[in-house]
Structure 1
Amino acid sequence: MRNVTRVTLGRWIPAETVLARLGDRGDVVWFDAGVEGDARLASPRDGHPRVSYLGWGDEILLASAKEPGSLEAAWRRVSDDAAQRAQDHEPLGWWGWVGYGAGADLLAPGESAWAQALGDPAHPDLALLAVDRALVFDHDAGLVELVVDGDHTEWVAELLAWWSSDSEGMPPAPGTSRPRVAEWADSDERYLDLIANCQAAIHEGDAFVMCLTTSVSVRGVDEDDLVLYGRLRRSSPAPRACFLRLGGVSLLGSSPETFLTVDPSGVVTSAPIKGTRPRDADPRVDAGRVGELRTNPKERAENLMIVDLMRNDLSRVCVPGGVEVTALFEVHSYEHVHQLVSTLSGRLRPGLTGVDAVRATFPPGSMTGAPKHSVVRLLSAWETAPRGVYSGAVGRFGLDGSVDLSVVIRSIVLDVSTGTATIGVGGGITASSVPLEELAETRTKAAALLAVVGADTRVPDLETPLPVTDSGAGSPRSGSLDRPCDPRRDESLI
């Protein structure tokens, strides 16, 4: 492997300006610290990363659950690269997303029914860019470093020439979008039926908690993907924000949730989120919501079950007895919501890589429920369509052996060819869930994202109960896993 070239650039130009001025350069990935850190020596928000990354590459790795052997070959490629542990290549590596459908190959290897039920019918279930050119923005130092692997003389010369000559500052803040219609995959009535299905399964002992999801689509979105992301990063800042343009699909993310990190020494961390409350402009009301969320028995029980699930998953790859819960039931506050977060950590067993950790824990437990096998099987039969990128993970697999992945929530998936923006939303269902409150939570989570693309942000009125109709929610969709579930045989949570 070649040694990398590193150049500290002469001045600070924010990542958004770089992308806006350089225009369409093909596939690109941006892991963003937020608009507050755009100016030189400006501090990102508390809890946001102190370093941002922009990455380019010429090779893209695509894989689909519906293509036998495709995902396994992709994992092997990424794992082989990570095993080299090229410390001088930080932060270069494979950057992109692993969609929820990739879980089929990990939960039930070789079972075509799982692949057909979970696989994304429209896009790859895994899309990773081999990033060999990156800009690293150190917000504390106010420095930008160019990192290049290989012979990219012309590309580097063009970038450096532009960097030294550009005199323009930040791009103007993006304006508002024209009004559009939001099309929900499930009506309010059907979503209430699905909640009833989940609670019946819990009462029958087939599950403890189930992360039920739905989606909303907006057609005719013709704005540039970077313009939309500029609007999102200003209206909904989040510590795991990202912009990806890979293979004709753009992921605009404002996720607050860390799925999994692995440092080069093998230390693994995960920070699942379960429990959400909307912010309020009145400080007293807002503080009351924090206290209620922190002490709410239903939210604490749901959070604890996912912590137990993640602890069990991590124990499959970590040093025996070494997985610890380092923070339990912390409330993290963001622009629009408060969320209940717990943190776990451990150390990989000798001979294992960060890819092994991802394969042992994917899909994220906070997006499935517990027991994982049983819940994924049931939900695949009930949910209207495969989840796609939503509920998966997005981030980096470093050539130095590191992994840094967040959960794909609070995100917009834009199919550039069709102009369709899709937003996935959901929530954890327990025996004590109040159905109308769960319905309202999904609408609350979608509202800020729908506003970005100019669509309806309605939240149901909890004072007016909706009729619950027999919409056939219990009938499995085509290709789903409709065989009976026996949680006693599930080995993902013991």
Structure 2
Amino acid sequence: MQRIALGPLGALEALAARVHAEPHAFALGGDARGSVTRNDWGLAWLDSGRAATAGRSVLAVGRAVELRRGSVLIDARAALDALRARTDEQLPSPLGLIGWFGYELRDETMGAPVPSVPDAHRASWMLVDSALVVDHATGLAELVAVGKDDDVADWVARMRAAIDAVEPAAGEDARDERRGVTAEAAEPARTARTAGMVRWRDTDEHYAELVRQCLAAIREGDAYQLCLTTQATVETVDDPVTLYRRVRASSPAHHGALITLGGVSLVSASPETFLTVRDGVVTTRPIKGTRRRDSDSERDAALARELAADEKERAENLMIVDLMRNDLQRVCAIGSVTVTGLHEVESYRHVHQLVSTVSGRLRPGLDALDAVEATFPAGSMTGAPKRRAVELLSTFEAAPRGIYSGAFGMLGASGDADLAMVIRSIVVADGVATVGAGGGITALSVPEREVAEMHVKAAALLAALGVDEAARGADAPASRVI
């Protein structure tokens, strides 16, 4: 395993665009280029931190892992084992796997029947044996790789050449790009093909009716929370890198990502941690409870206080905390699962969120994939009790969720993992962008408020696609559109 220090890097966005256009040309291994089709290779650009340039950023290329239906977790573990076998050294993150699990993978983790979805929407992961890592605290970058010395040297030379080709000489352009706030990126999309052309799967009226059906199921004792969702689709002319630059500038979050695999791109500004694993300790941070931000500081603070005190939001959050505690106890040592944070308000660019934290120590012999199997899909995207909630939602929504409400991130060869919820995300395939949104329904839910909350969650992402949510509904169909 080799680590090569590069010094300051001021052109991450431009470098990402160059690598995204030709990922196989930046793969480790002398026979990578031209030996396989472009879709066999994926690109990942991950940002961790409350802002686009806080924490660290990772830029990586990897070859898609073959995942068989019914054996996704088994095949993922085999790929990690094969990477570990290349060296006796401990491999650092992000070497390992990067990708996503789609919501319909619940057929493997829960044994629940699911509608048909393309394989790429069920699960897609790439094997990462080389990566560029940028530490924004120091401003320094390094290359990490595991492979034959000649292959690593060749890859380093190609990466250096690409960096030299895009690196600004100096001055304001470099400083702007490091801040991640270039004018082009921060400006919402406004194109003839995107502006206003959003198509919701459910009209507001139908979504409100689905909320009422959830309330009826709760009154009958079938569930005590149901996470109802819907989706919007938009034709887009933006390439995924441009779209992610816009999202990371306008909606910074803990888990920023552009992952392209198998002709599908996931663009995310997710605030919610599904699972992290560090030194055998697994942590989840479910989010339940939302308020919009306000430009007036006093009104904004009042909205945050209102969220913290809201009986319905606190109950909704607590139900999912209890569910996740139960799920983690399936793989954690007895007595180790604890709630380390409850009903904490976190504020993001567009919304306030109510967040809790649950942690536990994995039992000896178990790893991050065991934790995924025990907890996926996350309770914050199903409701409770989980199995019955999933059954009811499948009936109410009557359509697959795909990648939305699944999980994405890194499964490290070191045994560590960093997985986020696929929320506040855009999925792009074949020139069509899809945005999912929804909310937890409890006995205290009001249908009209749930409709409004769903739109609040989708608004920033639709704005990045050029959609003005203020104009929504003017041309909406009177009936549901699937």
Shorter-chain TM-score bucket reads: 0.7 to 0.9
2:444 is the alignment partner of 1:443: no
Q: Which moved more, 1:305-314 or 1:440-449?
A: 440-449
Alignment of 1:273-312 (within 5 A): 273-312=287-326
Residue identity matched to 2:426: I
- Residue pair 2:9, 2:167 contacting (<8 A) in 1 also: no
- Give the Cα–Cα distance (whole angstroms) in 1 for the partners of residues 231 and 52 of structure 2: 32
Aligned to 1:428: 440
- Give the Cα–Cα distance (whole angstroms) in 1 for the partners of residues 340 and 269 of structure 2: 25
Deviation of the 1:172 alpha carbon: 6.1
- Give the Cα–Cα distance (whole angstroms) in 2 for the partners of residues 155 and 472 of structure 1: 51
Secondary structure in 2 matching 1:377: helix
Aligned to 2:27: none
Alignment of 1:106-125 (within 5 A): 106-108=109-111, 114-115=113-114, 117=115, 119-121=116-118, 123-125=120-122
2:354 is the alignment partner of 1:350: no
Aligned to 1:489: none
- Residue pair 1:390, 1:411 contacting (<8 A) in 2 also: yes
Aligned residues between the structures: 440
Uncovered stretches (5+) of structure 2, i.e. residues with no partner: 24-41, 169-173
Aligned to 1:367: 381
- Give the Cα–Cα distance (whole angstroms) in 1 for the partners of residues 110 and 250 of structure 2: 37
- 1:61 pairs, out of 58, 65, 75, with 65
* Compared CA separation, residues 422 and 86, structure 1 to 2 (3 A): farther
- 2:15 pairs, out of 18, 21, 30, with 18
1:86-106 deviation per Cα after TM superposition (whole angstroms, max 9, x unaligned): 523432000011111111111
- Residue pair 1:79, 1:355 contacting (<8 A) in 2 also: no
- Give the Cα–Cα distance (whole angstroms) in 2 for the partners of residues 296 and 384 of structure 1: 31
Deviation of the 1:165 alpha carbon: 5.8
- Give the Cα–Cα distance (whole angstroms) in 2 for the partners of residues 316 and 19 of structure 1: 40
- Residue pair 2:317, 2:354 contacting (<8 A) in 1 also: yes
- Give the Cα–Cα distance (whole angstroms) in 1 for the partners of residues 428 and 129 of structure 2: 25
Aligned to 1:256: 271
Deviation of the 1:25 alpha carbon: 2.5
Secondary structure in 1 matching 2:443: coil
* Compared CA separation, residues 271 and 81, structure 1 to 2 (3 A): farther
- Give the Cα–Cα distance (whole angstroms) in 1 for the partners of residues 434 and 52 of structure 2: 28
Alignment of 1:442-461 (within 5 A): 442-458=454-470
Residue identity matched to 2:391: R
- Give the Cα–Cα distance (whole angstroms) in 2 for the partners of residues 35 and 309 of structure 1: 27
Aligned to 2:184: 173
- Residue pair 2:201, 2:231 contacting (<8 A) in 1 also: yes
- Give the Cα–Cα distance (whole angstroms) in 1 for the partners of residues 308 and 472 of structure 2: 24
Secondary structure in 2 matching 1:173: helix
Aligned to 1:77: 78
- Residue pair 1:311, 1:323 contacting (<8 A) in 2 also: yes
- Residue pair 2:209, 2:447 contacting (<8 A) in 1 also: no
- Residue pair 2:73, 2:369 contacting (<8 A) in 1 also: no
Q: Which moved more, 1:203-212 or 1:172-181?
A: 172-181
Deviation of the 1:13 alpha carbon: 2.8
- Give the Cα–Cα distance (whole angstroms) in 2 for the partners of residues 188 and 209 of structure 1: 20
Deviation of the 1:76 alpha carbon: 4.0
- Give identity over the alignment, percent: 48
Residue identity matched to 2:154: E
Deviation of the 1:247 alpha carbon: 1.1
Secondary structure in 1 matching 2:295: coil
- Residue pair 2:95, 2:413 contacting (<8 A) in 1 also: yes
1:146-196 deviation per Cα after TM superposition (whole angstroms, max 9, x unaligned): 001212443321212343465423376335331241000011121111111
Aligned to 1:407: 421
- Residue pair 2:49, 2:255 contacting (<8 A) in 1 also: no
Aligned to 1:331: 345
* Compared CA separation, residues 72 and 380, structure 1 to 2 (3 A): same
Uncovered stretches (5+) of structure 1, i.e. residues with no partner: 39-43, 45-49, 478-494
Q: Which moved more, 1:335-344 or 1:72-81?
A: 72-81
Secondary structure in 2 matching 1:458: helix
Q: Which moved more, 1:237-246 or 1:87-96?
A: 87-96
Q: Which moved more, 1:295-304 or 1:156-165?
A: 156-165
* Compared CA separation, residues 126 and 54, structure 1 to 2 (3 A): same
- Give the Cα–Cα distance (whole angstroms) in 1 for the partners of residues 121 and 223 of structure 2: 29
Residue identity matched to 2:212: A
